[in-house]
Amino acid sequence: MTKMDTRPIAAPFSDVSRRTFLKSSAATAATALVSASGTRQASAFAYEPYPRDDDLTTVVTSCAHNCGSRHMLVAHKKGDVIVRLSTDNGTYQGDAYGTDTEEMPQLRACLRGRSYRSRLYSPERLLYPMKRVGKRGEGKFKRISWYEAAKEITERMVHLKEKYGPTALLDQSYAGASYGVLHKSDQIEGLLARFLGMFGCRTSSWSVPSYQGTTFSSRMTFGTIQDGNEDDAFAHSKLIIMWGWNPAYTFHGGNTFYYMRLAKQRGCKFVLVDPQYTDSAAAYDAWWIPIKPNTDAAMLAGMAFHIFEKNLHDQDYIDRFVLGMDKGTM
């Protein structure tokens, strides 16, 4: 066992007064505190320097979200990793460098498009097939190979078709980010629907998960969904009704912000029909009509009834352009 040193430790400092000792202790404590604080700050902000633009490779691409606008996204890469995303700033317009006018606006992406990097590198992104191993809703899955997935799906589809017929297969897929390619879009059946049709038929559905109300009304009004006004019509509007629409977060089409800003500058009035008072309502000083959720159809029916009851409709327009409004237009 090590022998303990029992010599008095105060002996060498016997000539130090109490006042001097307290001053020295306070100074030492302050120095230690500053040093510790500095160490914590240094460790808290210890990270690699943010890469400069000169260290990055720039790739011009477009947004894959299915608003249809395909706004410009500029990916800034370090190696094969996207460090950040930017959008059109006039740099890539050739002879029209830097132009941002009503005739040639910049194709700027919205917040959803600019945040696509978080979706690309999300830890919840599926990178390989997962098979459910527990009961539905338990969230228990295991990873299987692509071959196993294709084999199981093929065998199951053939079995269901032979036992129940091809209509036992329900096609319940929608656009997502691969708009009109793999899944269905407005008027084009995607590759999946094409495949299931060639397989012998399938059961499809029509509902309102997203934009089906728009496509139906557009077909009934114009005969197609690929018609109507251009996006720059916003700039020439006298009244814009944002019905359940928050353009601060979601675009309606190309350069919505730009044209709506022009409309506001030109005196356009805005109305918001939405349960929530949104950022768009604040930005455009909109008259807010706070309806209850899922009462849109009832409100529209009530408005239509009032219009016809008070004879506020344009009968000449209906007679010339509308189909099925009354006996004369059937």
Residue 116 lies in a domain: yes
Tell me the C-alpha distance between 71 and 110, whole Å: 8
Tell me the C-alpha distance between 274 and 271, whole Å: 10
Do 227 and 301 lie in one domain? The reply is yes
CATH number at 249 reads 3.40.228.10
**Secondary structure (3-state) at 58:** strand
pLDDT tens digits in sequence order for the chain, 330 residues long: 444 444 443 444 445 455 554 555 555 554 444 444 444 444 444 445 566 777 889 999 888 776 767 788 999 999 899 999 998 888 876 676 777 777 777 888 888 888 889 888 999 888 999 999 999 999 999 999 999 999 999 999 999 999 999 888 887 766 555 555 555 554 455 677 778 888 887 777 665 556 666 777 777 777 776 666 777 888 999 999 999 888 887 766 667 878 888 999 999 999 999 999 999 999 999 999 999 998 998 999 999 999 999 999 999 998 888 877 878 777
CATH number at 70 reads 2.20.25
**Secondary structure (3-state) at 148:** helix
Output the six-digit token pair for 107: 């194709």
Do 220 and 285 lie in one domain? The reply is yes
Contacts of 120 (CB under 8 A, 6+ apart): 82
Do 109 and 156 lie in one domain? The reply is no
Residue 295 lies in a domain: yes
Cβ atoms of residues 192 and 182 within 8 Å? yes
- Domain closes at, from 125, 154, 175: 125
Tell me the C-alpha distance between 156 and 164, whole Å: 12
Do 118 and 130 lie in one domain? The reply is no
Number of domains in the chain: 3
Q: What angle do CA 252, 253, 259 make, to 5 degrees?
A: 90
Residue 188 lies in a domain: no
Domain containing residue 61: 55-88+104-125
Query: What does pTM read for this prediction?
Result: 0.59
